[in-house]
Amino acid sequence: MMTKLKKCSEKIILSNAIALISAIIFAITLPSFALAQATHSIQEKALGINNSLKKVTFTKDDADMCVNIITYLSRSHYLGLKFNDNLSSKILDQYVNILDPGKNLFTQNEINEFEQIRYWLDNTLKKGDLTPGYAIFNKYLERSLEKLNYINKRIDNWQTNFKFDGDDEISLDRKNAPWPIDKDELKILWDNELKNTIISFQLEGENNEDITNLLSKRYRSRLSRLMQINSEDAFKTYINSVAMSFDPHTQFFPPRMSEDFDIQMSLSLEGIGAVLQTEYEYTKVVSLIPAGPADKSGLLMPGDKIIGVGQGLKGTIQDTVGWRIDEVVNLIRGPKDSFVSIKIIPAGQKGSHNFKIINIKRDKVKLEEQAAQKKVIPFKRNGHTVNIGVITIPTFYLDFKGMQEGTNDYRSTTRDVFFLIEELKKENIQGLIIDLRDNGGGALQEANQLTGLFINSGPTVQIRYRNGNMSRLEDMDPSIIYNGPLIVMVNRMSASASEIFAGAIKDYNRGLIVGNQTFGKGTVQSLQPIDNGQLKLTNAKFYRVSGESTQNLGIIPDIDFPPTYNSEETGESSLDGALPWDKSERASYTPYPDTLIKYALSQLKERHLKRVENNPDFTYLKEKYELSKEIYNLKSLSLNSAKRAEYKQHLDKIELEIENRFRTAKGKEPFSSIEQLHQSDPRKKGIDDEEIVIENPKKKEDKEDILLTETGEIMGDFINLVQSRGYKW
C-alpha cells in the first residue's frame, strides 16, 4: 500500500502553493511594456496600428516556445480542447479583457477591427506566429501611452480643470458596459479616473499641494513602467491569455517568474507569507501561508488590496498602484526580523480612502509551526465536565525526502495526528474536532491516510483524467484510531486536500461538517518545463467517493456559520473560467448508517440557532459581513466631493456602531471615534521602531475563536445524542 501511495503522491500533490501561488505571477497583470519594432505590416494595418510607434516584436525562440506550449495544452490539458475557431474566439475575448478590463483603452471601432482576427488565432498560434496578438498588444501600448500622457498633462491644473460638485459618477464595474465610441468618450473615462483618485486623496486628508505631488508621482511612475516593457512581457501576456482560456489555473511562467514560483514553493524566502495576484491596478492578497508572519499577525486577510509599501515602521509609503506584481513582491520581501509597512484597502471595501496601514514583522515560515497541534476544551453539560479534543491542521504536509529515504521518524500530517489523538485519549476526551479552517491543502496522500484514521477501510477520493479513466486512493487498513463523535471545521479558505478529507468524512457519515462553504479547488495541476520557463496545466479532476466533484462548489457544511470571507471575492467560483461542478460514477464503498446523523442533525441545528440567536459574537460577525457585502456590491461612486465625504461618514458611522455594540455587549469600553478603532499610524508617533508594540487583533479580541467555542457547544450536544442512542462507529 505504501509503495502505491508513494508513487501516487509523487504524481499528484494538492498544494496550496500549486493551487493558489500561481496568483503571485497571475497573467491578468495590467502590464507596463517597453517599445520595439513591429512585424507583419499588413495585419497591423488591418488593426489600425500607428506605424510611427516603436513596437514589441517576437523572436524565433518565442515562436518555438509558443509551438511547444500549444502542443502541451493540446495533448495534456484535462479538457482536451482543440485549437479551432471556438477556442480562437475565446482567446480573443480573454486577451482583450486582460489588456483592458476597465474598457477605458480600446474604442468600439478598434474592437470591431479586432473582430477581423477572431478566428485566425488558432491557426497562427499552432504555427508559432504571434503577429495578431502582438499587433493588439502594440495598440494597447499606444493607447496606454496616450492615456498616461493625457492624464499627466491634466495633473498640474486639476484644481481648475475639474469641478467636484456635480452629479457625475464613476462606474466600479465596467465588465458589461459598452465600449467607448471614440476618443472623446475615452477622455471622459480618463478624467473620471483622475477625479476619483483626487477625491480619494482628499478623503485621506491630503491638501491640494500634496495631492498634486502624489498624482504626479503615481502617474509618472506608471509612465516610466510603461516604457520599460519588453517582448517577454508581451509574450507572457498573450500566451497566458491562451492558457487561461482553458482554465484559470493553467499558466505559463517565464524564467524570472519561474524563479519566484520555485522560491515560494520551497517557503524558503524571508518575507510575510502571503500569496498575491494582480487585480486591475492593485496587488490583491489571495491567501496566507499557514503560520507565516502575515497569518500570525491577524492584520492581513485574503481579499485585501495592497496600494502601498514602506520599509520599517515609519518609512515612507511607496505608492504601488499600477505597479508590476514582481516589483511589489520585491518591496515586501526583506530580511528576517525587519518590519514592512503595507497600505491596504481591506477586503470588502472600495476606494483608497478606506485604507489602513498595517505593520508586519518579516520572518521565515517555520515548519514546526505548520504542524498539527492539539488542545482540550472543557465544557459543562448537565453538571458534568465534558472534555473535547481539538486538533488544528494548518496544512497537509509530508516530508517526501524522509519518506523516500526510509527515515523512521519523518514528519507527516497523519503520523502527527495519530500521536496527538493517542495523547488526547489519555486525557479522556469524549469528542474530537478537526479544525481545517484556512487549510489550503497539501499532500494528497495525507488526506487519504488521515481519513483512514477514522474509517474502517475503503476509497477516499477519485481522480478522473483527460481520457476519462478513473483512479482511486483507498484506505486499506481496517483499524480505526478514533471511533467517537467527530466534527470537522471548515471555512471558505479550506481547499484541495481539506475538501477531500471533509468530503470523505461526510460521505461515510462518519461525522459532521460545520462552518462555511469551502474553496472549491477540485482540479490537479502539473508543472512542465518549457525552455527556461514552466507551464502549469490542469490535467485531472477530483471527485468524492459519492461521485460529487469538489470543484467549484466545494463542501457544503451540515451547520452553517456566519461567513468571514466574501465568496464573491474568494474561492474557485470567483475565478473567471473555473471548471464547473459535476458528478462522476459513485465509488464502491460502505458508509456508516446515516440514522444517527439524520436523527442528530435537525436537533443540533435547532439548538445551535437558539444558542446564537442573541449571541453578540455571532451578531457582530453577521453585521460585519453584511456591511462588507454592501460595500462590495457598490456599482458606482459619486464624483461629488461632498457626497463622497457624506457617504464615507455614513459607512464609518455604521462600522463604529457595529464595533461598539459588540464591545458594550462584551463589557468593553466603546471606541470614541473611527480613528481610535482603526488605530493611528506609527509614522505619526515620535518613537523608534523598537518601542512600537504591534498588537495582534485576533488575539486581542478573540473574535474568530467564538466559532470554535460554538463548535464545542455543538459537540457537547452531539455527544449527548450519541450516548443516548448508544451509537458507536
* Span 460-488, average pLDDT: 95
pLDDT of residue 257: 56
Of 568, 593, 618, which residue constitutes the final position of a domain? 593
Count of the separate structural domains present in the chain: 3
Both 288 and 177 in one domain: the answer is no
Confidence of residue 514 (pLDDT cuts 50, 70, 90): very high
Q: What single string gives the DSSP state of each residue in 431-496?
A: EEEEE-TT---B-HHHHHHHHHTTSSSEEEEEEEETTS-EEEEEE-----S--S-EEEEE-TT--T
> Among the options 55, 139, 305, 521, which is catalytic?
521
Return all residues near 673 (Cβ < 8 A) that are at least 6 apart.
656
Question: Do 289 and 164 reside in the same domain of the chain?
Answer: no
Determine, yes or no, domain membership for 695.
no
Full domain range(s) for residue 346: 268-361
The answer to whether residue 262 sits within a structural domain is no
507 grid coordinates: 460521505
Does residue 546 sit within a domain? yes
CA distance 663 to 680: 19
Binning pLDDT at 50, 70 and 90, where does residue 353 land? low
Q: Compute the C-alpha angle 352/645/180, nearest 5°.
A: 60
Query: What CATH number does the domain containing 277 carry?
Result: 2.30.42.10
Q: What grid cell was written down for 692? A: 512600537
> For 78-140, what is the HEC assignment?
CCCCCCCHHHHHHHHHHHHHHHCCCCCCCCHHHHHHHHHHCCCHHHHHHCCCCHHHHHHHHHH
Judge whether 507 counts as a catalytic residue: yes
Question: Is 521 marked active-site?
Answer: yes
Rounded Cα gap, residues 618 and 600, in angstroms:
23
Q: Is residue 616 part of a domain?
A: no
Do 347 and 206 share a structural domain? no
- List, for residues 123-152, the tens digit of each pLDDT value: 999 999 999 999 999 999 999 999 999 999
For residue 48, is pLDDT > 70? no
Given 297, 496, 498, 584, which residue is catalytic?
A: 496
Among 7-21, 29-43, 694-708, which range has the highest average pLDDT? Answer: 694-708
DSSP 542: E
| C-alpha separations of 74 from 26, 117, 317, 664 in Å | 21, 21, 46, 61
For residues 327 and 409, membership in a common domain is answered with no
Task: Answer with the one of 565, 593, 621 that is the final residue of a domain.
Answer: 593
Final residue of a structural domain among 243, 276, 302: 243
The confidence band for 352, taking pLDDT boundaries of 50, 70 and 90, is low
- Is 24 contained in some domain? no
If asked whether residues 351 and 390 sit together in one domain, one would say no
Tell me, yes or no, whether 248 lies in a domain. no
Model confidence band, residue 631 (pLDDT cutoffs 50, 70, 90): confident
- Residue 567 belongs to a domain with what CATH number? 3.90.226.10
User: What would the grid cell of residue 374 be?
Assistant: 492539539
One domain, residues 65 and 201? yes
For residue 619, tell me if it sits in a domain.
no
- Answer yes or no: do 351 and 439 share one domain: no
Q: What is the pLDDT of residue 261?
A: 46
Residue 537 in this model has a pLDDT that exceeds 60? yes
Q: Are residues 142 and 197 in the same domain?
A: yes
Residue 406 sits in the same domain as residue 355: no
166 within domain boundaries = yes
Q: Does residue 354 share a domain with residue 377?
A: no
Residues 291 and 229 in one domain: no
Residues 158 and 286 in one domain: no
Cell of 409: 521518524
Q: Which of 100, 129, 507, 558 is catalytic?
A: 507
